[in-house]
């Protein structure tokens, strides 16, 4: 034991224990502080690379988010301007006596339905594409053009292939969807610029 100036005695063992507690408490506080910094950085970090501010500004966005067209037009040497999906695959309809026929079951293995991408609720078309809509199908919302469901053909391997036109199978005849053309399915050509925006 030692005596401090005003008559207070302090045990050296308790001094050492107190020092350890202070160091331990300091380390815990530093550890908690480091965790708090990491947590804040993870929650509120910016991808801009500069410094970030702890204040946030609430601003209203006046523009709508850009939505990629599900259906666009393409030029085809044999059929002229046709409808294709966003990957450039030719689109077809199945009809019997001029009326749309649904492709189901084994048919979908050969003629995959054009369905909206996940999170998309409305069929959108590029310039010159009109009359798009959707119907509920087993695998999501299927895109239609003037009420006729749209399909791609497994026999088309490259952009611009149109190997399925005129095939009679699955209860009807398959037609390339043409823009402003005659025969098969066609869309109306117009200057409206598309739909769904």
**What confidence tens digit (pLDDT) does each residue in 69-125 have?**
899 999 999 999 999 999 999 999 999 999 999 999 999 999 999 999 988 989 999
Dist CA 29 CA 93 (whole Å): 69
Structural domain boundaries in the chain: 2-42, 71-187
Tokens of 4: 């401090």
Dist CA 106 CA 164 (whole Å): 16
Dist CA 187 CA 182 (whole Å): 9
pLDDT at res. 39: 34
Number of Cβ within 10 Å of residue 125's Cβ equals: 24
**What confidence tens digit (pLDDT) does each residue in 141-157 have?**
999 999 999 999 999 99
pTM for this model (two decimals) = 0.61
**What confidence tens digit (pLDDT) does each residue in 36-55 have?**
333 333 334 333 444 333 44
């Amino acid at each position: 034991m030692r005596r401090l100036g005003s008559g207070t005695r302090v045990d050296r063992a308790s001094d050492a224990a107190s020092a350890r507690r202070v160091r331990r408490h300091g380390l815990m506080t530093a550890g908690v502080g480091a965790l708090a910094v990491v947590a804040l950085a993870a929650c509120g970090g910016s991808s801009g690379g500069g410094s970030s501010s702890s204040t946030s500004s609430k601003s209203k966005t006046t523009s709508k988010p850009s939505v990629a067209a599900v259906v666009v037009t393409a030029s085809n040497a044999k059929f002229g301007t046709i409808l294709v999906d966003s990957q450039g695959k030719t689109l077809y309809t199945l009809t019997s006596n001029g009326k749309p026929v649904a492709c189901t079951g084994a048919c979908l293995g050969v003629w995959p339905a054009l369905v909206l991408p996940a999170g998309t609720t409305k069929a959108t078309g590029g310039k010159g594409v009109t009359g798009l809509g959707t119907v509920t199908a087993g695998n999501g919302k299927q895109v239609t053009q003037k009420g006729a469901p749209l399909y791609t053909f497994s026999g088309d391997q490259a952009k611009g292939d149109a190997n399925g036109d005129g095939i009679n199978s699955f209860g009807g005849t398959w037609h390339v969807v043409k823009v402003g053309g005659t025969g098969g399915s066609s869309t109306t050509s117009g200057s409206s610029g598309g739909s769904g925006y």
